[in-house]
Amino acid sequence: MKNSENKRQSVKIKTRFYIGSLFLAWLAFFIAVRANYQFSGWTIVIFWGALQFTLESLHIKLKKGATSSLNFTALFSAILLFGPFTAGTVALFAGVTWRELRNFKDSNPIKWVFNSVQYSISAMLSALTYIGLGGLVFSVAKSGFTLANFPSQILPLLIAIFVFYLTNTFFVSLAISLNDNISVKDIWKISFSWGDLNYLGLGFLGIIFAQVYFFEPVGLILIIGPLAIARQAFSRFMKLEDAYSSTIAALIKAIEAKDPYTRGHSERVSQLSIDISRALKLPEDQVESLGRIAALHDIGKIGVPKRILTKTEKLTDEEFSQIKEHPRIGARILKDVGFLKNLIPAVYYHHEKMDGSGYSSGLAGNNIPVFARIISIADSYDAMTSNRAYRKSLPKKEVIDQLIEHSGTQFDGNIVNALLGVIGENAPDVKEQRVFSRNNLKVRLDKNPV
């Protein structure tokens, strides 16, 4: 697949330039805020910074290399208690975790700088928004929230939380986007679109944190329990995501144990399907779903006798009929795997052809789900370029010629073009896609076929 060293180096340069620019922007912003707002002293900064560091060290890994932690609770309370400059200084302590310090040689200081400055900018912007909307800074007003003043503070509080959420997640999404060459929108949607409620909950915990600290600092101990529970609940959610991945990996091993010639085939088809879908500019959440189900496209071969899967001679009609059952068997296997139910049509229909001559249902043209069309091409390409029990791999040029020749009859022409781009070939004028229809064909693509 086309992924050259020059391209990777270019991405690294772009990311470093972005982080360097962000650092300079932070420095100018930090100096400007210092000139206009009070500093609460190093004792306050060290205490709240240590709290930030501790909470950040308990972070939870998200998708695409991002992380989430409970430190926003402490930081938002610092915004309310001390204002923009002190909060911006405290935020710098969130750039590194205990695990990274312990493994200093394997850590990346550039990442520390990025995390620190983007968090500091987010904190100062949030604080300035809060003050600009009439928000109460406890250390300045010499007062916390009361029944009399709290109603007027609700809107500034909500908007301040929202500003921090948008700023923080945008900076992180842009960094990942530059590094992985995926759109900011897609990164944000996958890793952070759920985060508004998470930030809202942590923000209101921060309000309680600030109130308790202002009136009775010892009472902060009472906050530890709810914070620990919140972290544990979210950690379990992310572990469930990991369990999904483990389930898929186990199913792939089951396929490969049955047919050793397909070892690595599932992962390659999955990765190629991901690359094709990105070339087609599908939304990143769909790309991720496709990658999962593409890895399991041949799961139904578990139900096909091994002697047929590994046969070196031409299959008899009866044996080929058994092979053709594997999409149906796969769909039946996956129907009880809850998180994959909506993706079953991709497995069931991945041997359909654009002219309607495929199996399992004889669908044609755009009636074939797009995931199934993508998997079909990725599967065929990898099968032709890999050694099988019945033949050696084909030369790349011959494979490309086959794809082009069958574009519009077996394969979707648009997806063939996308594949050729992915593997580094100039896409020639493939045959115009021919869409066949059958008057008696009625299909609900949003419904599982089992």
Phi, psi of 360 (to 5 degrees): -100, -15
180-235 pLDDT, tens digit per residue, is: 777 777 777 666 655 567 788 888 888 988 998 888 777 676 666 666 666 666 66
Q: What is the pLDDT of residue 284?
A: 80
Q: Tens digit of pLDDT for each residue in 16-47?
A: 899 999 999 999 999 999 999 999 999 999 98
Q: Which residues pair with 411 in a beta bridge?
A: 407
Q: Is the model more confident about 61 or about 357?
A: 357
- Locate the domains of the chain by residue range: 5-215, 242-422
Domain 5-215 listed as CATH 1.10.1760? yes
Structure tokens at 247: 């389930």
Three-class SS state of 307? helix
Look at domain 242-422 and name its CATH class.
Answer: mainly alpha
77: three-class secondary structure by DSSP: helix
One-letter amino acid at 143 equals S
Q: How far apart are CA 43 and CA 39, in angstroms?
A: 11
Selection from 85-99, 236-250, 434-448 with the highest mean pLDDT: 85-99
Range with the poorest average pLDDT among 52-56, 91-95, 135-139, 360-364: 52-56
DSSP per-residue codes, 96-112: --HHHHHTGGGS-HHHH
Select from 382, 385, 380, 362 the least CA-distant residue to 441: 362
Phi, psi of 68 (to 5 degrees): -135, 145
Flag whether pLDDT at 390 surpasses 90.
no
pLDDT at 431 over 50: no
pLDDT tens-digit profile of 236-283? Answer: 655 665 666 666 677 777 777 767 666 788 889 999 999 999 999 898
Mean pLDDT of the chain: 80
- Rg, the chain, Cα only: 28
Q: Indicate yes or no: pTM above 0.85.
A: no
Average pLDDT over residues 96-111: 72
Q: How far apart are the first and last CA of the chain?
A: 35
- Spell out the long-range contacts of 234-239 with Cβ–Cβ below 8 A and sequence spacing 24 or more: 234/60, 234/68, 234/198, 235/60, 238/60, 238/61, 238/62
